[in-house]
Structure 1
Amino acid sequence: MEFQQATNGVDTCPDITDVLIVGAGFAGLFMLHNLREHGFTAKIVEASDGIGGTWYWNRYPGARCDVESMQYSYSFSDELQQEWHWSERFAAQPEILRYLNYVADKFELHKDIMLSTRVISAIFDETRLRWEIKTNRHDRLLSKFCIMATGCLSVPKIPDIKGLDRFKGNIYSTSNWPHDNVDFTNRHVAIIGTGPSGVQCIPIITKQAAHAYVFQRTPNYCIPSNNGPLDPKEEQRWKANYTQLRCDMMQTSGALLLDDTRNYPALSVTPKEREEVYESAWKKGGNAFTLPFNDLYINKEANETVSNFIKSKIRATVNDLTIAKLLSPNNHLFGIRRPCSGTDYYETFNRNNITLVDLRYRGIDEIQTTGVRVGNKTYEVDDIVLALGFDAFTGALLNIDINGRSGKTLREKWKKGWRTYLGLMMADFPNLFTISGPGAPSDLANMVPHIEQHVKWITKCLEYLRMHDINIIEPTLEAENTWVNHVHDVVENTLFRTSKSIYNGANIPGKPRVFIPYVGGFDIYMEKCETIAINDYEGFHLTK
């Protein structure tokens, strides 16, 4: 079936399709392919004019994945695994986008993707038992099931800075970077934000610019990626053992294989032994540093050992001790906010063309026509780069006017915080699925295997419904409440409870301060999902 495009503002009504998918990133593409393979009709609606999701939009200088390439890729096709070659240990944005386009070409996905089409609303028709999706192009799309593959990090944080609209120079956002090359040569540049995106772009922009002014409110821990060309022997090891290695990944708490993980506490070894472990992981770089011991995220004293190690590395790297102190986190522990991984981040602050502006105790007062004012000081700049992060996990879903039973809206349901069952479905919103939604491990796990797990679970669920002539699936309110309480209970036993971050919405003014992802471990989460499915979808209403 072909979707009809509206012309001259005339509403169109296509035939009903089995599944409508919103989003053409890693999740949407595999969801489309997997549904087709199992005999369902499906279409994707994508807001941008190209596929790729977050890797389409986030093309700022230095943008790259912080998960090793051999683990940040699809596993559903062994032919794909064997024929694709990654050039670097940590793939950069252009290579990831090429990979996704290669996948879309290989599996002929483009013909079922509507690009440059933003979903405005999704309304459940209780009489006809179907979803009606309306778009910014006046399409009216009908489907029995709707799957939100909108991503965890897809809605940029809206800057609330006085005078930003008066600035006469160029304003760039890391989350919506121009497709054309941006050259900062001989330019004075303000970079606002030192989270994961800022950490990656600051060194590259500073190398080009006449001068860079980095405006930092909250210093973060940055682990060196120690990136480089992918070792051919490592690539071959993975390709020769993909089946077993993929299986091993799924049995870990982060869906990720790490070389320097130890299943014992940091405080069970001597300070000298701890130091050796941290030093080894630091030299390895990237993900190797995230979990060297098993108590770092549950024991404050243990976490302080790794936090202090990183601070010692900052002091040893940054020549100016005052700058080193400003770059050292003082209000949170390592890993409790989203970890940063970069190249030459701390080394960059030894250059003579960079100024660190500390906003810890005083924010930006205003943007003027030619600069940024903080107190009595104005920093004259030609360009401003906003690296402000995202309205994570819930932002993309709440941007769509989603209406369930009796006209109940998702915005009303989530007014005091997210509520889902397994991060997959919501009570009062029948036949609506979310991939890596709130209440799932989401960004706390390796996203690609997490996405694959959700896609396979949803597909098997739809097969079960088809086999048993079931028209409606929807979580019970009791099951949803139990899951939400479980997610909250689990986080209370960890140091994540102390965080003010994207994980609990603290970066977005007015957003409910409720912890969002599941921190109990991907392996445990996956087992819970499988058990529920095996038990004939325990916790769900199934209606014929």
Structure 2
Amino acid sequence: MDKTTIREGNVMSQINKSNIPHFDAVVVGAGFGGLYAVHKLKNELGLTVRAYDTGADVGGTWYWNRYPGALSDTQSYIYRYSFDKELLQESTWKNTYLTQPEIFEYLSHVADRFDLRSNYQFRTKVTAAHFNEETNLWQIMTDRGDEVTAKFFVTGLGLLSATNVPNFKGRETFKGEQYHTGAWPESGVDLKGKRVGVIGTGSTGVQLIIGIAPEVEHLTVFQRSAQYSVPVGKRPQSEEDIAKIKGNYGEIWKQVKSSAVAFGFDESTVPAVSVSKEEQDRVFEETWNKGGGFRFMFGTFSDIATNPEANEAACEFIRKKIREIVKDPETARKLTPTSLYAKRPLCDNGYYDTFNRDNVSLIDVKENPILEITSKGIRTTDGEYELDVLIYATGFDAVDGHYIKMDLRGRGGVSMREKWEDGPTGYLGITNTDFPNLFMILGPNGPFTNLPPSIETQVEWISDTVKYMVERNIKTIEPTQDAENEWLTTCSTIADATLFPKAESWIFGANIPGKKNSVRFYMGGLGNYRKVLEEVGYNGFAFDHAFSGKK
């Protein structure tokens, strides 16, 4: 079916009779997910699409996270789209991992190549979206006073985009500069010769600390939880190597999309508990030198994320490395984790070695809690630390944060905020009961993987579903409650078979005070997830409240 045929008999048969502008689809977000959704719906299906983003340009997460040292932890050759063979061949890179400016430049090129910016209204926040049961349309409102309607509402809000700033006492009294890494000024921040404090040592904090330590007068790191981190393995990549990769992209993407974590390496099938300690150390050392956080957790042995004994072997290897790298024994002690190695695996470009610098000091806020932020800096139980700049690397209200901050109302006026009060629900990480024709890219309980391949998988499912509905003049789609419940049980069962729920992590919402700890990912791997989508078809969905069946 060509675009013209799709346009005939499409959602315009339900065109809004009022003066409110109407579109076939509204897309929120201009990152990997939003851009691909606009491309599929506009360029391939020929639908009318309006898109919004709070940034001044495309990029999504990579527009806002401009902090020094920002780096993808996925290798350059697969941190990109795979849907266009020409795009794959014409795009290039310099190192094994991409920095923020390079990712932004890539997404900007994609937007230009497929004429996607023309659909966007930037510097615009969608504040509310209400489903109208009389018209079967979404009514969408923004902070700029816009109001539009659309049959399909596609959200590419990002897993890590709703910034989290802890409500420290006295935060408003600080007379210096304050920034959050997830809302870094486009013009940059001059930190040279300044006394800088960083709160947070997650993935962002680790990168920022490495990035700014050489230029500041003094850097004070306020650490809540010591982190297991391994080298990222960022190295220059030769033109010959890049050409070889491009010549083998067919097999590379086939492997990525059939794998578990989709990071471009073969996941190990060998349990650590099945080999000697000498063999464990040999494999760990080899992978430490090669680099990559997900590779260290999933490419070394098959049971690190599931078996406490295997997990402890990995823990002790990294602890030993920390003691070898960090010269001051007391600093090394503070930096050495004692918990499980069961959070999102971190990797870095010299994190532990940074604490050997004379201008870097570490404060353990579990041993010496932060009492308040003062006009001069931060006061902990062991004294006041005077600062010129305070940076919050305190992460995000991940996965569902943006959804519950929006006034999002579905059938019967049900609020997403209220519905997700005990943890986010949903079916297949894309849809939700009571919210017809709402498609969430990287919604709750989607795959825990390298994100671009998962995004492509979900956007292609969304596009296929929209096409299916348009061709048949189907008004609405939403999952049944039974299907949603079954999916949540599946996600919980898989997660409970791992060690991840036993660690306090943003993966389960533990970084947000008062937020219920609950499963927010499907941890069965991308290959299995793609099989589920194929096998399920449209079982578990209700069309027009009456029809459901297999695709």
TM range (shorter): over 0.9
Cα deviation, residue 376, structure 1: 4.1
Out of 64, 67, 85, the residue aligned to residue 60 of structure 1 is: 67
Question: What is the aligned partner in structure 1 of residue 465 from structure 2?
Answer: 461
Matched, 1:169 2:176: yes
SS at match of 1:234: helix
Cα deviation, residue 17, structure 1: 1.3
1:29-40 to structure 2, matched below 5 A, reads 29-36=35-42, 37-40=44-47
**Do 1:162 and 1:365's aligned partners in 2 also have CA atoms closer than 8 Å?**
yes
Q: How many residues matched?
A: 526
Matched, 1:245 2:252: yes
Matched, 1:256 2:263: yes
Out of 188, 196, 200, the residue aligned to residue 181 of structure 1 is: 188
For 2:394 and 2:323, locate their aligned partners in 1 and report how far apart those are by CA, in whole Å. Answer: 26
Out of 147, 151, 155, the residue aligned to residue 154 of structure 2 is: 147
Cα deviation, residue 363, structure 1: 1.8
Cα deviation, residue 209, structure 1: 1.1
Question: What is the aligned partner in structure 1 of residue 14 from structure 2?
Answer: none
**Do 1:65 and 1:93's aligned partners in 2 also have CA atoms closer than 8 Å?**
yes
Identity percentage over the alignment?
40
1:133-532 to structure 2, matched below 5 A, reads 133-258=140-265, 261-286=267-292, 287-291=294-298, 292-331=300-339, 333-334=340-341, 336-441=342-447, 444-532=448-536
**What's the CA shift string for 1:364-388, capped at 9, x where partnerless?**
1111111211114111111111100
**Do 1:167 and 1:370's aligned partners in 2 also have CA atoms closer than 8 Å?**
yes
Question: What is the aligned partner in structure 1 of residue 55 from structure 2?
Answer: 48
Question: What is the aligned partner in structure 2 of residue 9 from structure 1?
Answer: none
**Do 2:21 and 2:147's aligned partners in 1 also have CA atoms closer than 8 Å?**
no
**What's the CA shift string for 1:489-532, capped at 9, x where partnerless?**
11111111202111111100111111211111121111111111
Structure 1 segments (4+ residues) deviating >3 Å: 12-15
Question: What is the aligned partner in structure 2 of residue 112 from structure 1?
Answer: 119
Question: What is the aligned partner in structure 2 of residue 538 from structure 1?
Answer: 539
SS at match of 1:245: helix
For 1:13 and 1:225, locate their aligned partners in 2 and report how far apart those are by CA, in whole Å. Answer: 54
For 1:121 and 1:377, locate their aligned partners in 2 and report how far apart those are by CA, in whole Å. Answer: 45
SS at match of 2:94: coil
SS at match of 2:98: coil
**What's the CA shift string for 1:448-479, capped at 9, x where partnerless?**
00000000001111111122221110100111
For 1:363 and 1:13, locate their aligned partners in 2 and report how far apart those are by CA, in whole Å. Answer: 56
**What's the CA shift string for 1:236-287, capped at 9, x where partnerless?**
122101122101101100122226x421101111111111100000000124
Question: What is the aligned partner in structure 1 of residue 31 from structure 2?
Answer: 25
Matched residue type, 2:175: K
For 1:525 and 1:163, locate their aligned partners in 2 and report how far apart those are by CA, in whole Å. Answer: 46
Distance 1:13 1:115, change over 3 A: farther
Question: What is the aligned partner in structure 1 of residue 3 from structure 2?
Answer: none
**Do 2:30 and 2:156's aligned partners in 1 also have CA atoms closer than 8 Å?**
yes
SS at match of 1:66: strand
For 1:339 and 1:486, locate their aligned partners in 2 and report how far apart those are by CA, in whole Å. Answer: 23
For 1:361 and 1:344, locate their aligned partners in 2 and report how far apart those are by CA, in whole Å. Answer: 25
Stretch moving more, 364-373 or 14-23: 14-23
For 2:226 and 2:398, locate their aligned partners in 1 and report how far apart those are by CA, in whole Å. Answer: 19
Distance 1:13 1:345, change over 3 A: farther
**Do 1:215 and 1:357's aligned partners in 2 also have CA atoms closer than 8 Å?**
yes
For 1:403 and 1:181, locate their aligned partners in 2 and report how far apart those are by CA, in whole Å. Answer: 37
**What's the CA shift string for 1:73-96, capped at 9, x where partnerless?**
001111111111112211000010
**Do 2:199 and 2:391's aligned partners in 1 also have CA atoms closer than 8 Å?**
yes
Matched residue type, 2:510: A
SS at match of 2:522: coil
Matched residue type, 2:486: T
SS at match of 1:181: coil
For 1:16 and 1:467, locate their aligned partners in 2 and report how far apart those are by CA, in whole Å. Answer: 19
For 1:202 and 1:356, locate their aligned partners in 2 and report how far apart those are by CA, in whole Å. Answer: 11
Question: What is the aligned partner in structure 2 of residue 81 from structure 1?
Answer: 88
For 2:382 and 2:296, locate their aligned partners in 1 and report how far apart those are by CA, in whole Å. Answer: 41
Matched residue type, 1:96: I
Matched residue type, 1:246: W
Cα deviation, residue 14, structure 1: 3.8
Normalising by structure 1, report the TM-score.
0.95
For 1:376 and 1:359, locate their aligned partners in 2 and report how far apart those are by CA, in whole Å. Answer: 10
**What's the CA shift string for 1:375-409, capped at 9, x where partnerless?**
14111111111100110000011111111111111
Matched residue type, 1:318: V
For 2:302 and 2:411, locate their aligned partners in 1 and report how far apart those are by CA, in whole Å. Answer: 44
**Do 2:368 and 2:382's aligned partners in 1 also have CA atoms closer than 8 Å?**
no
Distance 1:338 1:216, change over 3 A: same
For 1:278 and 1:316, locate their aligned partners in 2 and report how far apart those are by CA, in whole Å. Answer: 15
**What's the CA shift string for 1:312-335, capped at 9, x where partnerless?**
00000001111111101112x22x
SS at match of 1:365: strand
Out of 130, 133, 139, the residue aligned to residue 137 of structure 2 is: 130
Query: RMSD of the TM alignment (CA)?
Result: 1.4
For 2:541 and 2:283, locate their aligned partners in 1 and report how far apart those are by CA, in whole Å. Answer: 46
**Do 1:13 and 1:140's aligned partners in 2 also have CA atoms closer than 8 Å?**
no
SS at match of 2:445: coil
Structure 1: gaps spanning 5 or more residues: 2-11
SS at match of 1:373: strand
For 1:471 and 1:46, locate their aligned partners in 2 and report how far apart those are by CA, in whole Å. Answer: 27
Cα deviation, residue 159, structure 1: 2.0
Question: What is the aligned partner in structure 2 of residue 71 from structure 1?
Answer: 78
**Do 2:378 and 2:386's aligned partners in 1 also have CA atoms closer than 8 Å?**
yes
Cα deviation, residue 13, structure 1: 4.2
Cα deviation, residue 181, structure 1: 3.0
For 2:264 and 2:211, locate their aligned partners in 1 and report how far apart those are by CA, in whole Å. Answer: 29
For 2:437 and 2:519, locate their aligned partners in 1 and report how far apart those are by CA, in whole Å. Answer: 25
For 2:61 and 2:254, locate their aligned partners in 1 and report how far apart those are by CA, in whole Å. Answer: 26
For 2:30 and 2:19, locate their aligned partners in 1 and report how far apart those are by CA, in whole Å. Answer: 23
**What's the CA shift string for 1:181-234, capped at 9, x where partnerless?**
322221111111111011001122111111111100101111111212223233
